[in-house]
């Protein structure tokens, strides 16, 4: 007597466990064997398969499976669509994700808190904060008016109403709303939400802290940002390159250049990973307070630490040299930039031309204008103003 085949639900449990441990290829392989046994996959099986494809960056295959679900007369649920929306967001196809979201109800599916959170996160990451906040309103009253301009002073009210509807908030949804407040410079509201999180035992992530740091520096609350950094360390949340860059940039832009330089030196001693943005921020700060030699030494050290200056870094250094009247050195740096394959932009040319005008070197300005035309660099309003002053 042959042993009876295990039900498809048993396979689903196995597939689910494998997917959670990121063994996506194994799931796909076993799925093929499932078909050969004569067992028919159900909606749960297909949803796991879609999730695997999306996690592997193969969203188009996920939509093929969605087609199978519909042909099999299954009704896809929120889990199915959330995987597809997340996959689209991961591929920066945010508008396609938004369109899919609007079509959920056509398929007889109501989005849940995870569906909303997934799309809201994607919208926030691509700068569509107002639309993201509007989703809170849609979730609260189900009016379906996706994309209506949202007033942020109502965000907290809607956030609370979501909770009253049984949608329990986590660090993900708190961070989204904190991001919305910070981008609108409503930092006090963001800090209030942060305190609320802590009181509920919800631990902020490095993303939450990074958002708050950006907001605090934007409204010049440097001391508060420093205190929050201490709190982050006490809570054992490890800082990353983005956090370090945010701090160096925020300190420099708020006039705390010495403190930024000290932090930079400490991070280098600790062998923390710093990127070209961190270096550019500090070089810019040093140039602005007249520490040109220190800025130049830092610029020169880039190759030794395995970094290559980009157009922004070159522009900062050229601007600093021009302001100090070192036009020959600035022009040499421009030539070095071209030699190393870094394309100068309109800012590069404008900076150099302004410097040469101050030195009454009109011929150099005309030479740069010809070079600009040869490189097909489009002039802007500042360029036109420079030409008029010739």
pLDDT by position in tens, the chain (length 390): 444 556 777 777 888 888 888 888 888 888 887 767 777 788 888 888 888 999 999 999 989 988 988 888 888 888 889 999 999 998 889 889 988 998 888 888 888 878 887 887 787 777 675 676 667 656 544 444 333 234 455 556 656 655 655 556 778 778 877 887 888 888 998 999 999 999 999 999 999 999 999 999 999 999 999 999 999 999 999 999 899 999 999 999 999 999 999 999 999 888 888 999 999 999 999 999 999 999 999 999 999 999 999 999 999 999 999 999 999 999 999 999 999 999 999 999 999 999 999 988 889 999 999 999 899 988 888 888 877 766
Q: Which two tokens stand for residue 377?
A: 């660099």
> Is residue 299 located within the same domain as residue 255?
yes
Three-state SS at 155: helix
- Total domains in the chain come to 3
Range(s) of the domain holding residue 346: 315-390
For residue 68, the model assigns a pLDDT of 87
Cα separation, 335 vs 331, whole angstroms? 6
Residue 247 lies in a domain: yes
> Is residue 257 located within the same domain as residue 322?
no
Residue 115 lies in a domain: no
- What burial letters (b/e) apply to 345-376, b meaning 16+ CB within 10 Å? bebbbbbbbbbbeeeeeeebbeebbeebeeee
Residue 63 lies in a domain: yes
Cα separation, 132 vs 144, whole angstroms? 13
- Show which of 74, 105, 128 is a domain's final residue: 74
C-alpha atoms less than 13 angstroms from C-alpha of 239 in its C-beta half-sphere = 22
> Is residue 261 located within the same domain as residue 296?
yes
Residue that the structure tokens 């942060």 belong to: 194
> Is residue 301 located within the same domain as residue 331?
no
Contacts of 196 (CB under 8 A, 6+ apart): 174
Instruction: Give the chain's end-to-end CA distance (angstroms, integer).
Output: 98
For residue 25, the model assigns a pLDDT of 86
Residue 225 lies in a domain: no
Cα separation, 366 vs 220, whole angstroms? 41
- Show which of 74, 99, 134 is a domain's final residue: 74
Q: Virtual CA dihedral for 92, 93, 98, 101, nearest 10 degrees?
A: -100
> Is residue 299 located within the same domain as residue 344?
no
For residue 108, the model assigns a pLDDT of 84
Global pTM reads 0.62
Residue 327 lies in a domain: yes
- Show which of 41, 74, 107 is a domain's final residue: 74
> Is residue 16 located within the same domain as residue 68?
yes
Cα separation, 106 vs 98, whole angstroms? 14
Residues 357 and 336: beta-carbon distance below 8 Å: no
Q: Which two tokens stand for residue 199?
A: 């009181």
> Is residue 327 located within the same domain as residue 297?
no
Residue 196 lies in a domain: no
> Is residue 360 located within the same domain as residue 341?
yes
């Amino acid at each position: 007597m042959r042993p009876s085949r295990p039900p498809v639900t048993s396979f689903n449990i196995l597939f689910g466990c494998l997917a959670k441990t990121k063994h996506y290829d194994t799931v796909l392989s076993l799925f093929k064997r499932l078909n050969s046994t004569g067992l028919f996959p159900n909606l749960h099986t297909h949803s796991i398969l879609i999730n695997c494809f999306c996690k592997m960056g193969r969203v188009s295959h996920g939509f093929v499976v969605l087609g199978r679900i519909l042909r099999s007369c299954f009704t896809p649920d929120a889990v199915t669509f959330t995987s597809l929306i997340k996959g689209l967001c991961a591929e920066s196809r945010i508008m396609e994700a938004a369109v899919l979201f609007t079509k959920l109800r056509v398929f007889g599916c109501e989005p849940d808190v995870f569906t909303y959170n997934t799309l809201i996160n994607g919208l926030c990451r691509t700068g569509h904060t107002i639309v993201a906040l509007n989703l809170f309103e849609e979730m609260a009253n189900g009016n379906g008016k996706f994309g209506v301009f949202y007033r942020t002073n109502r965000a907290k009210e809607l956030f609370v109403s979501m909770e009253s509807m049984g949608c329990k908030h986590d660090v993900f949804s708190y961070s989204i709303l904190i991001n919305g407040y910070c981008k609108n410079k409503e930092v006090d509201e963001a800090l209030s939400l942060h305190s609320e999180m802590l009181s509920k035992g919800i631990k902020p992530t490095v993303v939450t802290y990074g958002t708050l740091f950006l907001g605090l520096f934007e409204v010049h609350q440097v001391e508060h940002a420093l205190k929050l950094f201490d709190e982050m360390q006490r809570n054992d949340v490890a800082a990353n390159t983005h956090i370090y860059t945010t701090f160096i940039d925020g300190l420099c832009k708020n006039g705390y250049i010495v403190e930024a330089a000290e932090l930079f030196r400490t991070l280098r001693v600790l062998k923390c990973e710093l990127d070209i943005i961190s270096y550019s921020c500090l070089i810019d700060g040093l140039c602005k307070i007249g520490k040109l030699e220190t800025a130049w030494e830092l610029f020169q050290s880039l190759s030794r630490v395995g970094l290559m200056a980009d157009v922004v870094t070159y522009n900062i250094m050229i601007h600093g040299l021009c302001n100090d009247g070192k036009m020959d050195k600035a022009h040499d740096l421009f030539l070095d930039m071209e030699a190393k394959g870094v394309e100068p932009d309109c800012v590069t040319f404008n900076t150099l031309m302004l410097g040469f005008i101050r030195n009454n070197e009109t011929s150099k300005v005309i030479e740069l204008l010809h070079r600009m035309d040869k490189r097909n660099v489009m002039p802007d309003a500042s360029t036109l103003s420079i030409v008029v002053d010739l």
